[in-house]
Amino acid sequence: MKVEELEELVEKNEGVMTVKRVFGEPITSDGLTLIPVAKVRGAGGGGSGESETGPGKGWGAGYAATAEGIGTYVIKGQSVRFVPVVDVVRVMRMTALVVLGVLFLFRPRLRR
């Protein structure tokens, strides 16, 4: 990969990690203003390589970004509150893990 190609890749993804990805556009209705909030994560990396003794050369680069809604700010008059998103799948997984953990701990007593 040439330096120009890397610069082009960076430019294409420049807008991914901005505050606009974290805070959505405000939505106003009936005296309420809602501002959606997200958790945004990104990572990138690159590589290189050459060989002094035989065929070689190489280069690599990668980039990944994720966004997850975490809640909404609700503004009504002078009052502001944060309403978190409830991830039902995560709650069910944690509940299942707790139940399995309790069953595992009390398994010897249940056999009697």
Residue 49 placed within a domain: yes
Residue 101 placed within a domain: no
- Is residue 67 within 8 Å of residue 60, measured between CB atoms? no
- Could you give the CA distance from residue 76 to residue 35 in angstroms, rounded to a whole number? 12
Q: DSSP secondary-structure letter at 23?
A: B
Residue 30 placed within a domain: yes
- Could you give the CA distance from residue 28 to residue 10 in angstroms, rounded to a whole number? 35
What is the structure's pLDDT at 108?
A: 72
The SS3 assignment for 44 reads: strand
Q: CB count, 10 Å around CB of 26?
A: 11
pLDDT per position as a tens digit, 24-69: 889 999 999 999 988 888 777 777 777 777 777 777 777 788 888 8
- Which comes out higher in pLDDT, residue 11 or 76? 76
Q: How many domains does the chain have?
A: 1
Residues 6+ apart with CB under 8 A from 6: 46, 61
What is the structure's pLDDT at 74?
A: 94
Residue 93 placed within a domain: no
Residue 98 placed within a domain: no
Residue 67 placed within a domain: yes
Residue 75 placed within a domain: yes
Residue 40 placed within a domain: yes
96 — pLDDT class (breaks 50, 70, 90) = very high
pLDDT above 60 (res 1) = no
Q: What proportion of the chain, given as a percentage, has pLDDT over 90?
A: 27
pLDDT above 70 (res 18) = no
Range of the domain at 38: 3-85
Which residue is listed with tokens 């430019």? 11
